[in-house]
Amino acid sequence: MKFTVTRNALLNELNLVQGVVEKKTTIPILSNILLEAAGEHIDIAATDLDVTIRCGCPAVVQAEGTTTISARRLFDIVRLLPESSDIEFSLLENDWVELRSGNSEYKIVALLKDNFPSIPEAAPATATIPGGLLRSMIQRSMFAITQEESRYSLNGALLALFPNEIRMVATDGHRLALVSKSMEVPGIDAEVRALIPRKTLVEILKLIGDQDVFIEFGRDENHLFFGVGGKRLVSRILAGQFPNYELVIPRDNDKLIIASTKALGDGIRRAAIMSDEKLRAIRLSFKTGALELTASCADAGEAREVVPIDYEGESLEIGFNPMYLLDFVGASGSESISISIKDSETQGLLRPVGTSELDYRYVVMPMKF
């Protein structure tokens, strides 16, 4: 195997695979990438056995071949080489890989390609999803995924495709984020559901980047497939039953509060400084025209913040985890937020106010003081 590739083109692809490669593993081959040179192109693959990514870039191939090489070591070398430089790769007889670029020369130990895990064949595309839409949905829901690995079916987000709608839902049992958009979804004639692991969602965001692209989505019995151009991401489907999220969304919260996103966020951040580290709760006291935020800690002190709001009705107090509220504030993308509440013991419903292509709902369970 022998080929020459530009440093910038290769670095872009190596950046893409770093999140998939296993950093700490008892299986050495999983720390490597599969490198294949053929025609006028090199293909790169990385896997952790749950998530696999395939990408590549143009190259001048003098001799075709395949090998595996340390992903981290190659990335560290390439990113420090001069921009726009060329890199020549050669597979030596002792199965080492030699790199030459200008005055730089490296020899890296390779592992046999036969030990690299097989890559699932992509299923036919079921639907095509606008990349910008999928990116927005992930960014507005991923923070609600549970951090408890034992709750297996909650370790990802639910993607639900309907003939005329796309939804993404995530929950950790204490809060739930639901993002949806009404639109025609070509190729979908009945509901298609898929539980996407958290790590896969992160890699999808990297795959999309800030590009205005379309994502090809497909699935088989065990895997999900996402494609952008010549890049392919394969993921195992999360097993288990996702909760019936429709039952969690409150339908009769009759008290509606409108607040400035910035003012509310700033007030919560300041009040949360004095919240008890174990309880992690702040009290929200709603009254006509004002929201009072209070927090206290026996060992530290207390805080009180007042935020102007649009509200006319009876006074009401409710407790929430401030971090849960701030997650929504940061993701809402709107200048104002609505909070609808029934009483101090019923979950609150938060929504962005204003025009948006997305229907974004965020449910938070109350806390007792």
Query: Can you give the pLDDT of all 369 residues of the chain as single tens digits?
Result: 999 999 999 999 999 999 999 877 889 999 999 999 999 999 999 999 999 999 999 999 999 999 999 999 999 999 999 998 999 999 998 889 999 999 999 999 999 999 999 988 888 888 999 999 999 999 999 999 998 877 878 999 999 999 999 999 999 999 999 999 999 998 888 999 999 999 999 999 999 998 889 999 999 989 999 999 889 999 999 988 899 999 999 999 999 999 999 999 999 999 999 998 888 899 999 999 999 999 998 888 999 999 999 999 899 999 999 999 999 999 999 999 999 999 999 999 999 998 678 999 999 999 986
Report how many domains make up the chain: 3
346 and 299 within one domain: yes
Task: Examine the domain organization and report whether 271 and 212 are in the same domain.
Answer: no
Same-domain status, 133 and 241: yes
Rounded CA-CA distance 38/41 in Å is 6
The verdict on residue 121 lying in a domain is no
C-alpha 245/C-alpha 230 separation (Å) is 35
Sign of the Cα torsion 165, 168, 174, 175 reads: negative
What token pair was written down for 19? 């999140």
Are 32 and 109 found together in one domain?
Answer: yes
Q: Which of 68, 89, 115 is the last residue in one of the domains?
A: 115
- For residue 144, give Cα distances in angstroms to 171, 350, 359: 5, 14, 16
Alpha-helical runs (H) found in the chain: 7-17, 71-80, 131-139, 198-208, 261-272, 322-331
Nearest Cα residue to 17 out of 40, 43, 38, 41: 43
Q: Show the domain range for 185.
A: 127-246
Specify whether the CB–CB gap between 123 and 219 falls below 8 A.
yes
Cβ proximity of 364 and 175 under 8 Å: yes
Helix or strand holding residue 170 (H, E): strand 165-171
Last residue of a domain, one of 81, 115, 149: 115
* 369 lies in some domain: no
The CATH number linked to 58 is 3.10.150.10
Report the distance separating Cα 350 and Cα 339, nearest Å: 5
Looking up tokens 């020459």 gives 4
- Residue 25's pLDDT is 80
Angle at 137 between CA 131 and CA 139, to 5 degrees: 100
The verdict on 163 and 207 lying in the same domain is yes
Assigned domain for 122 exists: no
* 265 and 227 within one domain: no
Kindly state whether residues 198 and 159 are assigned to the same domain: yes
In a domain, 349, yes or no: yes
User: What CA–CA distance (Å, rounded) separates 37 from 34?
Assistant: 10
Q: What is the pLDDT of residue 334?
A: 94
284 and 334 part of one domain: yes
Among 115, 142, 173, which residue terminates a domain? Answer: 115
Q: Is 120 domain-assigned?
A: no
* Exposure string over 248-281, b if 16+ CB within 10 A, otherwise e: beeeebebebebbbebbbebbeebbebbeeeeeb
Whether 267 and 204 map to the same domain: the answer is no
Distance CA 95, CA 32 (A): 14
Tokens of 352: 């962005």
Q: Do residues 131 and 242 both lie within one domain? A: yes
In a domain, 145, yes or no: yes
